[in-house]
Structure formats: structure tokens, C-alpha cells
A and B are shown apart, each in its own frame.
Chain A
Amino acid sequence: MAEPLLDIRDLKTWFKTDDGMVRAVDGVSLHIDRGETLGVVGESGCGKTVTARSVLKLIDMPPGRFEAGQILWQGRDLIPLDETEMNKIRAREIAIIFQEPMTSLNPVYTVGDQIAEVIELHQKLSRKQAMVGAADMLKLVNIPNPQRRVHDYPHQFSGGMRQRVMIAMALSCQPKLLIADEPTTALDVTIQAQILELMQEMKERFGMAIMLITHAMGVVAETTQRVVVMYAGKVVEEASVEALFGDPRHPYTQGLIRSIPRVDRSAGRQARLESIPGSVPSLLDPPPGCRFASRCRYVMPACTQAIPPLKEVAPGHKVACIL
């Protein structure tokens, strides 16, 4: 098998706070192959975003710190690289878009200026050529009147349009990997579908890989090939999208899938949507053993003894559960 594009091995990103060490990402391993879409799911605070930002080293240090692990980008570890080296990878090879399109663009510069800034730097073009490139990118992400809109400021765009601008900016240097950190969470449903469709279209056009971080299982089912489920800073299950929805092994994944609202089952008496009881444990000195134990319906004494390792139960399907 070919070397994966991105291979995260046992990554631990911890944050030092006044109360102690918060283990936001505590031994995460995952990989992304060229051209594939990997979904990373989990509820708020499970470490999805920290994992994503760790890849581009966008974590404030201090208080953040890489405690252990490797982030292999095409075989080269990114963790020991300095800022100058990282800046050659950012945007040019790995680009990122964020959850909040309303605040992700600088309000005092035109969108064209902000896109052109990336093009100018990484493709070594003049400002004028970069502005032409920026207009082309806006056209590519289906923004009407791109020639005129490049001179507009972010506040003159709607939320969905701003996310298109962010995508245009991220793709302007044709990166090999796009990290999308909950790109549709802040948008309404019809716009969500448009943005996901646009990302799909761009992926086919540029042949890049996508790391799609989300907590919406529906989005995962529609757009990804492989899924990693995270819980409290750890990976609990990894499988192809078919295997995950068809045969979820980890009780947490099962809970997540059961809590997807379904129109066909909501009629009648069983109208109540299922949820997972309890809440995520504190990542400050977490208890030994499985972190899901306190909320798990199948919990047994062995669960609180040691952390169950991620083991392969079927080809490409890994679960961290002793069941």
C-alpha cells in the first residue's frame, strides 16, 4: 500500500491551564490517503478541532504543547519544523477552512485582497496578477459577478457566500489536503448542502484529499469514504462509511447513529429522539480505563481498569472497546 498523504501517529496535544494539564488530544492516530475524504466525528470538546489545528500547528504554544506523537506529511514529520518551514506548507500544501465564516475573514480588507495575499505569496505573482487569480477563484466557487465582488468587503457577503470565499482562498494554491473544520455548522440547511456540494466539486476538480470535521452524522454519510469517531481526545472507532453505519461496533458510535433524527420512525409513540445520557468526562486528569465507561450501557468492571487499545476487527475497521 502506498504511503498515506497524512499519517498522524499517537498525537498528544495538551494544554497547560491553572487547574492542570488538559489532555485535549490524547493519543490520536489516523491517516488520510491521497484524494480521499475522511470524516472526523464526535461531539463538542472531543478534540476534533485541536487535532485539525495541530496538523497546521495553529495551536497557541504556550499554553498548548505537543506531548508526544508524529504528524507525518508525505512521510515528513511536521512537529519539529520551525515557523519558516511550516509557512511553506500552510496554504500551499495543506489548507484549512473554519466553522465561522462570519468571523474568519478580516473585516477591514476586501475579499480579493485576502485571497490575492495567498496567491501572491505562494505562487510568486505580482499583486495585479494575484487579483486576477482571486477573481478567477471567486468565479470557480460560483460567486456571481466575480470581477466586481473581489473589491467588496466581507460584511457585504452573506454567511454562505463568505464560506465560499474561504473555500476559494483555501483552494487558491491547489493544496493536496483541505481540512474543513465544521464548515457547515454555522450555516442553514439549504446553504449547507450547497457548500458540501461545492467542496465535492472542487475535490473532483483538483484531486485533493479532504479531512471533514463535523458532528453531523448525516453529512458524514453523504460525503465521506472513511470515518474516524473521536471521543474525549481519543479515537474510538475507525471504519469505512458503509461499515460504520451498517455495523457500528463501539457503543458510542451506536449511540451517535441512534441519535440521528429519522423521519420514517418518528411517527407513532416512539417519537422521542434518543440521546446518549451523561456528558463528556473532564479531560483534566481523566480516569483510567475507557473514557466512555461512565455513559456506556454495556459497562463492565474491566472497562475501568485499562484503556482498551484500538484493534482491527475487520479489514480497515478498528474499534477501541473490549466487547
Chain B
Amino acid sequence: MSRQYIIRKILIMIPSLLGISLVLFTILAMAPGDPFEELATNPAVPPEVRAALRAKFGLDDPVWTRYLHWLVAMIQGDWGFSFVSRMDVDKLILQRLPVTLIVIGSSQIIAMLVALPVGVLAATRPYSLFDQVANTLAFVGFSLPTFFTGLLFILVFSIQLDWLPFVYRANIDATGWQFYWEHIKQSIMPVMVLGLFQGASLVRFVRSSVLDVIKLDYVTTARSKGIGERKVITKHVVRNALIPVVTLVALQLPIVFGGAIVTEQIFRVPGIGSLLISSMLSNDTPVVMAVTFVIACLVVFFNLLADIIYGWLDPRISYR
């Protein structure tokens, strides 16, 4: 893979992020409600003070000057100030982001770990019992929305069996192994709910992708070399079959973040998703702006990662 390919892909990120931020900023500026609404209804605050505050924060400037202000400040590392939490937005986000990344990251890993072997095995034995069972389970898995499976999990594992806690706590008063164990225990359900949902649709996708590749001429060539069926599948089929799968995983990431927001609400995970919802409800525009932008950055970043993996899997792409 050539270095130019990666550099080109990174450079493409800049205009897309600028575009995303401009759209986000404009939409939020046009949205009704602003953080000083509360002050407006408060009789203790005289109108002059309110006007002075608005002027100080530049809320009456035209949208494009405010966007430029925001952009310049953002680049300098000043992400704004949360009117509701009374703290810097970057600190607020950094508090919440790791939890979300861990939940989404491990659920994606689980989805891959389940989907790859199951999909490949199902495709190499089409219409066998294993294939039928895997297909049926996958169908059930992606037909059920996460808010339903989430509640079902809580009902079974927390209430009936009492194995796992159903509210995620950030302040666990334990140390050492106990601390990690508690964290793992409370992450199991959200990770599983997200991971199995993703994994279910991936199984079907991996299966059909492998089935497409397995009947191609070069697979017959590989078989004619006498290298054995296992190596034919792992070396000559899977790598080619993964190319469309990588695209799908990258394209689904925005949906995964959407799903994570819902799941975080169900399990009360103090992640970036619940921060987004609470700040929306309280009209905390700087936080909404920053959180949506961070999510956009993550999506763009993972797409870059997908492009790089894509170029590594298929040399024809990076050579152009």
C-alpha cells in the first residue's frame, strides 16, 4: 500500500469535517430555544443584564460570524462552556467519551468475533443444519430492536436471575480487581445487546459475501493446487470476502452510534449518548454542538480506518 494513498485519504477528511461542522452549526443556530431562555423568564434578571450577556457570548451576531468564532476557538482547543453543567465542554466530553468508546468498541469486536466464523462456516456448508440454525438466529437477532432486547435482558438477567446490575454506576467504591470486575459486570448487558444486534446482520452479510467468492474461478484454481480446503477458505476466500464486509461495517457506524445512544439510555450508561440527550433537553447548545461534532469526527475517522483496511485487503484499490 502506498503512502500517498493514506495521505490522500487523510487530506480528504479535512473538507468533509469542515462541511459537517458548518451544517451542524447552521441547523443548531436555526433551532428554536437558546440557553438564555431560563434567564428570560427569571424576573430577578433585568433585561439589560440579559442583553449584555447575549452580546458577550455573541449570540446576536449573524450565523456565519458565530461559526467562524466557533471554528477558530475549536481549533485552538476551546470547545466552549456548558451553560448547564457550568464547566468546559471538552472536560465534560472527555469524562463521558471513554465509556461510550469502550461499549461501542467491545460490542463491535464481539459482533466481528461472532459473525466471521459463523458466517464463513455457514457459507461453506450451505443449507446444512448449522447454516439453517445460524440463519434463523441471525434473522431473529436483527429483527429485534435494541430497546426491546435491552429490556428483555434486564428482565431476565437482573430481575429474574439477579446476576447483573441494571443501572450503570460511574462511582464504584472498590479498588483493584474488584473495581474492574464490577465494571465488566455492568458492561456485559449493554455490550451484548449492541454486539449481538450488529453481529446478527453481519452473519448474514459475511455468509452471502463468502458464497459469492467461493464459486469464483480463482478458488477453483486454489483447489487445483492441492493446498487443502482449510487453506483455500482462509487464504483465498476470506480475504476477498472481507472487502465488502469492511465497507458495511464502516457504513453502519453512524447507525451503531445511534443504537448506542438508545442503549445508553436503557442501561443508564453515563456515556456521550446520554450527555447528548440531556443537553438537548436543557438547550445546552455548545454541548450539543460539540457532542454531535465529536460523533461525526469518530465516524469520519473510522471510515478512514476502513479505507486503509480496504486498501490493504485489495491491492487494486490503493494502486490507482
Question: Which residues from chain A sit less than 8 Å from chain B, CB to CB?
Answer: 53, 56, 58, 83-84, 86-92, 95-96, 98, 100, 103-108, 117-118, 121-122, 153, 155, 166, 169
For residue B162, CB closer than 8 A to chain A, the reply is no
Chain A to chain B: the 10 pairs with minimum beta-carbon distance, closest first: A90-B226, A87-B226, A103-B217, A106-B218, A91-B225, A104-B217, A91-B226, A96-B224, A118-B225, A104-B221
Cβ A90 vs Cβ B220 within 8 A: no
Name 15 A/B residue pairs within 8 A (Cβ), A-sorted: A53-B220, A58-B224, A84-B228, A87-B227, A91-B224, A91-B226, A98-B221, A103-B216, A106-B221, A106-B236, A107-B314, A107-B315, A121-B226, A155-B315, A155-B316
A118 to B232, CA, bound (A): 12
Cβ B240 vs Cβ A108 within 8 A: yes
| Residues in A neighbouring B236, C-beta threshold 8 A | 106
| Residues in A neighbouring B50, C-beta threshold 8 A | none
A90 to B221, CA, bound (A): 11
Shortest distance from the beta carbon of B246 to any chain A beta carbon, whole Å: 13
| Residues in A neighbouring B314, C-beta threshold 8 A | 107-108
A103 to B227, CA, bound (A): 19
A86 to B227, CA, bound (A): 10
For residue B229, CB closer than 8 A to chain A, the reply is yes
Shortest distance from the beta carbon of A107 to any chain B beta carbon, whole Å: 6
What secondary structure prevails in chain B residues at the interface with A? helix
| Residues in B neighbouring A169, C-beta threshold 8 A | 221, 225
For residue B169, CB closer than 8 A to chain A, the reply is no
For residue B99, CB closer than 8 A to chain A, the reply is no
Residue in B216, B218, B222, B226 whose CB lies within 8 Å of A92: B226
| Residues in B neighbouring A117, C-beta threshold 8 A | 225, 227
Chain B, 226-244, CB within 8 A of any chain A CB: 226-229, 236, 239-240
| Residues in A neighbouring B227, C-beta threshold 8 A | 87, 117-118, 121
A122 to B222, CA, bound (A): 14
Cβ B225 vs Cβ A108 within 8 A: no
Cβ B228 vs Cβ A87 within 8 A: yes
| Residues in A neighbouring B316, C-beta threshold 8 A | 107, 153, 155
| Residues in A neighbouring B222, C-beta threshold 8 A | 106
| Chain A residue, CB-CB nearest to B127 | A62
Given A106-B240, A107-B240, A107-B314; A122-B226 close (CB under 8 Å): yes
Given A108-B239, A108-B314, A153-B316; A98-B220 close (CB under 8 Å): yes
A53 to B219, CA, bound (A): 13
Cβ A108 vs Cβ B313 within 8 A: yes
| Chain B residue, CB-CB nearest to A100 | B217
A90 to B229, CA, bound (A): 13
A83 to B274, CA, bound (A): 56
